[in-house]
Structure formats: structure tokens, C-alpha cells
Amino acid sequence: MRQFVLKRFCYSLLSLFLLSVTIFFFVRVTGDPATLLTEPGASEADIAAIHQKFGLDRPLVVQYVLFMTSLFRGDLGQSFYYQTPVMDLYWSRLPHSLLLAAVAMAFSLIIGIPSGIIAAVRIGSFWDSVGKVFALLGLSLPSFFIGLLMILLFSVYLGWLPSSGSGTPLHVIMPAFALGWYFAAAHMRLTRSSMLEVLGSEYIKLARLKGLPQRLVIAKHAFKNALIPVLTLAGINLVLMINVAVIVETVFAWPGIGRLLYEGISFRDFPVVQGVVILGGAMIVAVNLLVDIVYAVIDPRIRLGS
């Protein structure tokens, strides 16, 4: 078991290293941030001063080594645009993203799981079709479109909810719905297929042969086993919701990490983009590592097979 964990841990570190290399060089392909921080036609001296200020005049390899050295000290650098430590920016936005992700996740599970179960239990029925349409719309409609429609309906026409920003429970409703619908659809589809697989298994047939009522078969025997892959996916999705809700947070002016990433990309703020991507990547790697370990604990075949 220890060897398994050690091996997975090394893979995780390697993933993070590769991520750091990729994001560091990718952001620099996008162009020179100095051109966005100065007026059009700024003098070469002004451009050079900006390069020097942010260390962009040094060779790329030197910049990378400095970046990694700082990273190991827990320092993600200083934002070019906000001139504030990236870590401070990240921590100031994280609570908002956690709140949004938690509500969106709750919404996606509350909607996705029951509708997936109903669709599986009543396969081919009207409710199954409704579920399919719901999933199709959720997966295909862009979240900015849903967001704008919601603003128009609930904010402008009905006047029920604030259009943007944060601060009250009412503010979180629309962004959470817009963000959660896509994931609700994904959870619904996985719940449905997982339930169908479980419902076709031998032990469910046995339970039915024993004369257990349908509700008990579904709730006690089928649902519990069908839930495992859904919750695994939900864990990964939660991390995605925290880190990459770029469009939803921008449309609703929600002060989260996704919007920070959008701002970083817009201003070619390399330290911000690198920081958000690496911290997001670290979260995903950590969740995956945790899932691997839990699986290995539950199922010895996994660790022995490895």
C-alpha cells in the first residue's frame, strides 16, 4: 500500500511539474504584456522599462527557474496588472468561488440525481424523455446564454434577483443555477446509466425475487451502489466549479477565481494565469490522488494490480 501511495504521489508531482512548464511557456506565446500596459505607439524605452520591472527582459529559462524557486516558497509572484501578490488575490477570491461552487454543486446533485434515478427506473417513459432533453440542453446550452436569459427574466422583467455582484444569498442564486445546470445534466446522465447497470445486476434480481418492494430495491440496494461513480465525478466537478467558472463569474460579475483567470488572460497577466492554473491543477491532482488512494483501500485489486 505504501509503495502504491508513493508511486501515485510521484505521478502527481510529475503532473504538476509538467503543468508548470506548459502554462509558463504557453502564456508567453500569447504576446507581450507591455503592449497592453502602455499606450499604442509607446516608446521603446517605456516598453523596456516595463520588461525590466517585471523581469521579462531575462532569458525564459532564468524566468522559469525564478518562478519555480518562488513557487516552492509558496510565492506565486506579483500580478502585473493589480501589482498585488497573486496569492493574496487568489485567497481573496477563493471564498466566493467556494460558495458559488457549493451552491451550484448542491443544485446539480439535487436536480441531477433524482432525475437520473427516475429516468432509469422509468426507462422509455415520458419522464425519461424529459430527463434526456434536460441533459441535452444542460450540456449544449452555453452558460453565458443561460446566464443572460436568467438576468433578463429574473432580474430585469420580474425584478426578483439582483443582476450581478455578491453580498447577499439572493446574489448567488442565478450564477449557481447557470453554473450548476451543465453539471446537473452530467450528473443526471451518469446517475441514469449507473442505475441502469446496477438494476440489471444479479443481486437486484435476487432482491426482487425475495419480494422486496420496488421502493426499497431502488433506495436501499440499487441507489447506494449507483451513487459511487456519481460522487467521484462530483468531487472532480467541484474542483472544476471552483477554478474554471470563467464565463459564469464574468457574466454575473461574481468576484471569484474564474473571473480572476479571465482578468489575467485579458491583461496578459502571466503571474495571475500561472498561479490560478497551477493552484487549480494542484486541487485536481490532489483530489485524483485521494480518489486513487480511497479506491485502493476499498478494492485491493487496484493496488495489487498496480
Partner 1 sequence: MTSNETARSVLSRTPLTRRDALSMGAMAAAAAIGGRDARAASGKLIWGVHVSIAPSWLDPAETNGLVTPYMLLYAVHDGIAKPMPGQLYAPGLASSWQASEDGLTYEFVLRDGAVFHNGEPVTAEDVRYSFQRYRGTDHAPLHDRVDSVDAPDARHVRFRLKSAWPDFLAFYTQSTGAGWVVPKKYVEKVGEDAFKMSPVGAGPYKFVSYKPGIELVLEAFDGYWRKKPSVQQLVMKVIPDEATRLAALKRGEIDIAYSIRGELAEELRQSPGLALKPVVIHGTFYLYFPEQFDAASPWHDPRVRLAASLALDRPSINQALTLGYSHLTGASIFPEGFEFYWQPPAPKYDPEQAKQLLSAAGYPKGFNAGFFFCDSSYSNLAEAVLNNLGEVGIRVQLRPVERAAFIKGYAEKSFKNIIMNGTGAFGNVATRLASLAVKGGAFVYGSYPDIDALFPQQAAELNHDKRAAILQQMQQMVHERTMFVPIWQLGFINGIGPRVAESSFGKISGYPYTAPYDELAIKGA
Residue numbers at the binding site for partner 1 (CB under 8 A):
31-32, 35-43, 45-46, 49, 79, 81-84, 89, 92, 148, 151-152, 155-165, 168, 170, 250-253, 255, 259-260, 262-263, 266-268
Question: Are 237 and 112 a contacting pair, CB within 8 Å?
Answer: no
Residue 142 or 213: the one with the smaller Cβ distance to partner 1 is 142
Instruction: Give 46 or 197: the residue with its C-beta nearer to partner 1.
Output: 46
Give the nearest distance from C-beta 82 to partner 1 in angstroms: 4
Q: How far is the CB of 172 from partner 1 (least distance, A)?
A: 12
Nearer to partner 1, 170 or 206 (CB): 170
Closer by beta carbon to partner 1, 126 or else 157? 157
Q: How far is the CB of 251 from partner 1 (least distance, A)?
A: 5
52 to each of 46, 49, 55, 268, how far by Cα in Å? 10, 5, 5, 16
Task: Compute the least distance from the CB of residue 26 to partner 1, in Å.
Answer: 16
**Of the two residues 45 and 209, which places its CB atom closer to partner 1 in the complex?**
45
Q: How far apart are CB 89 and partner 1 at their closest, in Å?
A: 6
Closest approach, Cβ 171 to partner 1, in A, equals 8
Nearer to partner 1 by Cβ, of 263 and 292: the residue is 263
Largest CA distance in the chain: 85
Q: Smallest gap, in angstroms, from Cβ of residue 150 to partner 1? A: 10
Cell of 234: 462530483
| Nearest CB to partner 1, comparing residues 38 and 70 | 38
